[in-house]
Every structure is written in structure tokens, then in C-alpha cells.
């Protein structure tokens, strides 16, 4: 069976590559839609690959916002592009996000995600809460919804190195308590609120923010907020964090902090969890499944109330890679691939039955996934 992952987001996240490898062990051949064809990029790209199924991951790549004259056209074009694609090949969709980051109020975006859902033969989400939120936002959903973990993103990194060695390689003081904010530098991350609090409250710990800049304006805002604050260390990059540097920082940190304004799934939080690194995130982000309660996961209500208390608790908790072994097993790629491959086969069987003039039967007829 041949599956096309669209778009190719391997440069930004290891999710697709790790899933593709695991699917290969289940007899599924995966290719990636790396080419971008003007006019009808998804349809034309899928024609050249001739897959059995087109698996859409981040559909906003086909109605991207580039702040040019074509932004509106790309949004208007997408439903027709997807309709043509789904007419010739079954489409399945992984809803990594409820709506694209920093675009939830943009005209046409909600419509395009709804169209993606309705055009799909099956949908994947990464938590039960995400399943419920998807239905609450888009109403009754006909395709079966399948809940799978976001996966063990520590696989490409291997286990952490000793904290002392990582600190020496990064030329960081051994005595410092380091709170790490890693991942893309963009408004939806909410890292400006962390920096503002750090400066206002004179937090004595070192705050390190590291990642590729997706918004220059937001990066400038972080620099302005951090100016003159010696405990804030901004390491804003022009390119993605490579695995070796990411492993270094995860090994050197005492805890990791996340303050997404709005998020469906967090690959970074899942990675910190796999690494046994204590992490903090807002209590409101209920769709982020980290197998709680767990001694490495700390939730805060607000910066003004319990944030600093939870930081202190996280810093008093020792990183423990072995303690995260159960989490890595629950989020193993082979288990995810087994479920995914089963869904693929159900979709292709139902398509074959339909083409032969028989009513499709099997899992998901009611539109209620497991």
C-alpha cells in the first residue's frame, strides 16, 4: 500500500519521518509531497505520486499566509484543490491543530479546515479532549475519529547526556537553575508573557528561550522585553534546531516551560515528557495529553497566582529519563503505526467495495471513532 504524506513537514518536526519508518515495518510505503505545484498544489502533487491514500497533516500549507496579494486566492482555491484530490484518491486527515497557529480569526480558515474534515474518510487526533473539541467546533463529524498518541519524539535524540557534560559543552554555569523554553518563536507560544513575568518578578533562575524565528516582529518584542535582564537568555535562530543541539539543551536544563496561548497538541511538551524533564504548562490546555497526573508534569493557573510556585516545584524535581519509560512505551511509534495501518486498510477496503457497487461496511459507519 502506498501512502502520500502531504505536505512534507519533516524539516520542522520529526513526526512524519518517525511515523513513516514505523509504517514501513507494517508493510506501508510512505512518500512525501515535497514539491509545490502552482495552481492546484495538492491535486497535481498527488497525481504525480499516484498513492492509494493521501494523508493530509497540515492543510494550511496549501492556503499559506505570505502577506502578499495571493493570500486570499490561496484560501479560496483550497476547497477545489482538495475536492479534486479526494475525488481521485481517498483522503485521511490528522488534526494536529484545531486551527492553524496564529490564524484562528482569519477569514476562510475555519471553512477550509471544516472542508478538510468533510472530505476525509478518516481523522486522527492525539487526545480524547482533542476529539471532543473537534466535534464541538465543527459540529457532527461523519468520518470515524481515531485517537492516537503524538509519538515518542525522543527517538532521534537518544537518551540525555549527563547534566554536567551538557553544561560544560554549552559553557553554562553548573550552579544555575535553568528553565528552558524551546521550539518555534511565534506569538502562539506565549513566551512574551513568560519574559514579562521574569523581568517584573525578578525571578532568580536563568530563562533560556531557544528556537527558530517564525515571526520577526515577535522576536523583536522578546528582545525589547528582555533588555537589561541578566537572567533572560534569548537564543533566537535563523534555522531549525538540529537534534544534537536540542539534545544538549534538554540535557542541560532543569525544567521546561510552555505557555501556549492556544494549542491542540504539543510535540515539544511530549518530547520533554519523553526525556523525563520536569515541565510546566497552563492548566487550561486540556487537549495536551501527557498521561497525568505525573510527578514530572506541573500545571499552573496564572502568572499572578501560582506560576512561580510551580516553577519552584519543578526545579526541585530531578530529571529522570528512566521514570519516563512508561510514557515512551505508551507513545511508541510501532503502536501508532499499527492503528494507522489498520485505518488505512479499512479506508481502502471501503473504497474498493464502493467502486464495486457494494455498500461500504466496517468500522466507523456511525461517525463515532473509538
Q: What is the CATH architecture of 163-328?
A: 3-Layer(aba) Sandwich (3.40)
The stretch 283-299 carries a mean pLDDT of: 97
Confidence of residue 354 (pLDDT cuts 50, 70, 90): low
Helix, strand, coil fractions of the chain, as percent rounded to 5: 40, 15, 45
In this predicted structure, the answer to whether residue 366 has a pLDDT above a threshold of 60 is no
Q: Which residues make beta-bridge pairs with 29?
A: 2
The stretch 121-143 carries a mean pLDDT of 95
Nearest to 118 by CA among 74, 148, 83, 69: 83
CB 189 within 8 A of CB 183: yes
pLDDT at 199 over 50: yes
Whole-number pLDDT of residue 286: 96
Q: Taking a C-beta distance cutoff of 8 angstroms, is the pair 316, 308 a contact?
A: no
Give yes or no for residue 47 having a pLDDT over 50: yes
Q: What percent of the chain has pLDDT over 70?
A: 95
pLDDT at position 204 is: 97
User: What does each C-alpha distance from 90 to 25, 114, 184, 228, 289 come to in angstroms?
Assistant: 22, 17, 32, 55, 29
Mean pLDDT confidence for 214-218: 94
If one counts every other C-beta atom within 10 angstroms of the C-beta of residue 27, the result is 9
Cα 289 to Cα 2: distance, rounded to the nearest angstrom: 30
Q: Which three cell numbers stand for residue 85?
A: 484530490
Average pLDDT of span 207-216:
96
- In whole angstroms, what is the distance from residue 62 CA to residue 81 CA? 9
User: DSSP class of residue 208?
Assistant: E
**Tell me, what's the pLDDT at 93?**
98
Averaged pLDDT, 159-187: 97
Of 64-78, 239-253, 271-285, which range is least confident?
64-78
356 pLDDT band (50/70/90 cuts)? Answer: low
Q: With bands split at pLDDT 50, 70 and 90, how would you rate the model's confidence at 359?
A: very low
Q: What is the DSSP string of 2-49?
A: EEEEES--TTT-SHHHHHHHHHHTTT-EEEE-----SSSHHHHHHHHH
pLDDT of residue 213: 96
Q: How far apart, in Å, are the Cα atoms of 324 and each of 70, 100, 151, 240, 335?
A: 46, 30, 13, 26, 17
Report which of residues 279 and 365 the model is more confident about: 279
Q: Which pLDDT does position 350 carry in this prediction?
A: 84
Q: Which fold has domain 2-151+332-355?
A: Rossmann fold (3.40.50)
* 3-class DSSP state of 334: helix
Give me the pLDDT at residue 188, please: 94
pLDDT at 14 over 70: yes
Residue 18 grid coordinates: 518517525
Bigger pLDDT: 135 vs 37: 135
Residue 8 has pLDDT above 80, yes or no: yes
Mean pLDDT of 218-240: 96
pLDDT at 364: 37
pLDDT at 57: 98
63-111 per-position pLDDT tens digit:
998 888 888 999 999 999 999 999 999 999 999 999 999 898 899 999 9
Q: Say what percent of the chain tops pLDDT 90.
A: 88
DSSP states of 58-74: -GGGGG---SSTTHHHH
Q: Specify the pTM.
A: 0.91
Residues of the chain with CATH 3.40.50.2000: 2-151+332-355, 163-328
Residue 87 to residues 15, 30, 43, 161, 212, Cα–Cα distance (Å): 27, 20, 10, 50, 37
Is the predicted pLDDT of residue 46 greater than 50, yes or no?
yes
Q: What is the mean pLDDT of the segment spanning 186-192?
A: 96
- CB count within 10 Å of CB 193 equals 15
Residues ≥6 apart with Cβ < 8 Å to 116: 56, 59, 82, 91, 93
3-state secondary structure of 209: strand
Lowest-pLDDT range of 10-19, 29-38, 361-370: 361-370
Q: pLDDT grade, residue 174 (50/70/90)? A: very high
Strands 178-182 and 122-125: unpaired
The confidence score (pLDDT) of residue 357 equals: 57
Q: Is the pLDDT of residue 224 over 90?
A: yes
Calpha distance 115→93 (Å, rounded) = 11
Q: Which helix (H) or strand (E) holds 255?
A: strand 255-257
Cell match 509519538: residue? 151
* pLDDT score of 67: 85
Q: Kindly report whether the peptide bond that precedes residue 60 is cis, defined as omega within 30 degrees of 0.
A: no
66-68-71-73 Cα dihedral, nearest 10 degrees: -140
Q: Can you say how many angstroms the Cα of residue 276 is from the centroid of all Cα atoms in its chain?
A: 19
- Taking the C-alpha atoms of residue 73 and residue 61, their distance in angstroms, rounded to an integer, is 14
- Between these two residues, 361 and 131, which has the higher pLDDT value? 131
Amino acid at each position: 500500500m502506498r501512502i502520500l504524506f502531504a505536505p512534507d513537514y519533516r524539516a520542522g518536526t520529526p513526526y512524519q519521518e518517525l511515523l513513516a519508518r514505523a509504517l514501513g515495518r507494517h508493510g506501508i510505503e510512505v512518500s512525501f509531497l515535497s514539491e509545490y505545484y502552482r495552481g492546484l498544489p495538492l491535486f497535481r502533487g498527488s497525481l504525480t505520486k499516484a498513492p492509494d491514500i493521501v494523508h493530509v497533516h497540515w492543510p494550511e500549507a496549501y492556503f499559506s499566509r505570505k502577506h502578499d496579494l495571493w493570500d486570499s486566492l490561496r484560501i479560496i482555491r483550497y476547497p477545489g484543490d482538495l475536492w479534486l484530490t479526494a475525488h481521485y484518491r481517498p483522503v485521511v486527515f490528522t488534526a494536529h491543530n484545531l486551527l492553524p497557529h496564529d490564524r484562528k480569526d482569519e477569514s476562510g480558515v475555519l471553512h477550509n479546515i471544516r472542508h478538510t474534515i468533510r472530505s476525509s474518510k478518516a481523522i486522527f487526533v492525539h487526545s480524547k479532549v482533542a476529539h471532543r473539541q473537534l466535534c464541538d467546533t465543527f459540529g457532527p463529524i461523519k468520518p470515524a475519529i481515531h485517537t492516537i498518541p503524538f509519538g515518542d519524539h525522543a527517538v532521534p535524540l537518544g537518551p540525555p547526556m549527563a547534566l554536567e557534560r551538557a553544561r560544560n559543552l554549552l559553557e553554562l554555569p553548573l550552579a544555575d537553575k535553568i528553565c528552558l523554553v524551546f521550539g518555534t518563536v511565534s506569538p502562539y507560544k506565549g513566551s512574551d508573557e513568560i519574559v514579562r513575568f521574569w523581568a517584573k518578578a525578578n525571578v532568580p533562575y536563568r530563562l533560556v528561550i531557544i528556537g527558530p524565528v517564525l515571526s520577526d516582529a515577535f522576536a523583536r518584542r522578546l528582545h525589547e522585553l528582555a533588555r537589561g535582564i541578566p537572567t533572560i537568555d534569548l537564543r533566537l535562530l535563523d534555522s531549525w534546531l538540529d537534534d544534537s543541539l536540542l539534545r544538549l539543551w534538554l540535557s542541560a536544563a532543569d525544567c521546561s516551560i510552555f505557555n501556549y496561548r492556544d494549542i491542540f497538541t504539543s510535540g515539544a511538551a511530549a518530547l520533554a515528557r519523553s526525556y523525563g524533564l520536569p515541565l510546566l504548562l497552563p492548566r487550561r490546555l486540556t487537549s495536551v495529553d501527557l498521561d497525568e497526573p505525573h510527578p514530572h508534569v506541573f500545571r499552573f493557573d496564572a502568572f499572578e497566582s501560582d506560576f512561580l510556585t510551580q516553577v519552584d516545584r519543578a526545579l526541585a524535581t530531578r530529571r529522570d529519563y528512566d521514570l519516563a519509560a512508561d510514557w515512551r512505551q505508551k507513545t511508541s511509534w510501532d503502536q501508532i503505526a499499527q492503528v494507522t495501518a489498520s485505518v488505512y486498510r479499512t479506508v481502502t477496503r471501503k473504497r474498493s467495495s464502493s467502486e464495486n457497487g457494494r455498500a461500504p461496511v466496517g468500522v466507523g459507519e456511525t461517525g463515532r471513532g473509538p
